[in-house]
Amino acid sequence: MSASPVPAGTPVQSYKLRRGRMGIERQEALARHLPRFAVPAGPGRLDLQHLFGNDHPVVLEIGSGMGDATLAMAQADPGTNVLAAEVHTPGIGALLQGIVELGLENVRLLEGDGRELLDARIDSGALAGVRVYFPDPWPKAKHHKRRLVQPEFVALVADRLAPGGTLHCATDWEPYAEQMVDVVAADPRFALDPDRSRPDWRPLTRFEKRGLALGHVVTDVLAHRVDPGRG
């Protein structure tokens, strides 16, 4: 029997689900603390001020992994709220455990697809930043359509960012880095930073360390939301 065709307009899944185990402490953190820090389920736009309990700027991180970099950046910048989206439960558990241990109040969690959250539940101009660190590179040409950073995604980010907001991507796969630069540069609502090195305020991630150990070149793509009608 042949597979059913994918309906037109259906988003292509940009990540691979991976199995992972969780220790007792992370399981307990999920059971005890997730209701407090989780993004409430359901349709409709999020009231970010109500979600965090303040009017601080909000950054969405799509694919927070095991949360090491997320925790470090949130701890270093308590005046910025971080909305962390991750599809893998072990990563959510690790991040939640870190939030509790560090006593952080500026992080909220979504176990799910951050792109879907951005599309369905975030208002235009509501975010100060979007972070995409080391998304699945999908190296085979036939899988390139699964890469997250595509023109449609960049256009969506541009709409959700406030003027002056930032899109920050990082990858250790050079062909993907070239694609990131090309698609961001093609959107007139973004001004690209010419520096492709890791800024000192972005901590090394686990995936990044693994890539560096393999001799991969890490590229940071940082762009600012501008008004194309001015200048």
Nearest CA among 220, 226, 199 for reference residue 77: 199
Whether 218 contacts 171, CB under 8 Å: yes
Residue 62 is encoded by which pair of tokens?
């799509």
What is the C-alpha separation between 196 and 221, in angstroms, rounded?
Answer: 6
Phi/psi of residue 133, nearest 5 degrees: -105, 115
Whether 36 contacts 59, CB under 8 Å: no
Q: Could you please report the per-residue DSSP string of 189-215?
A: TEEE-S--SPPTTSPPPHHHHHHHHTT
What is the set of active-site residues?
A: 136
Nearest CA among 124, 126, 188, 178 for reference residue 149: 178
Could you say which DSSP state residue 129 is in?
E
Burial of 146 (0-12, 13-18, 19+ CB in 10 A): middle
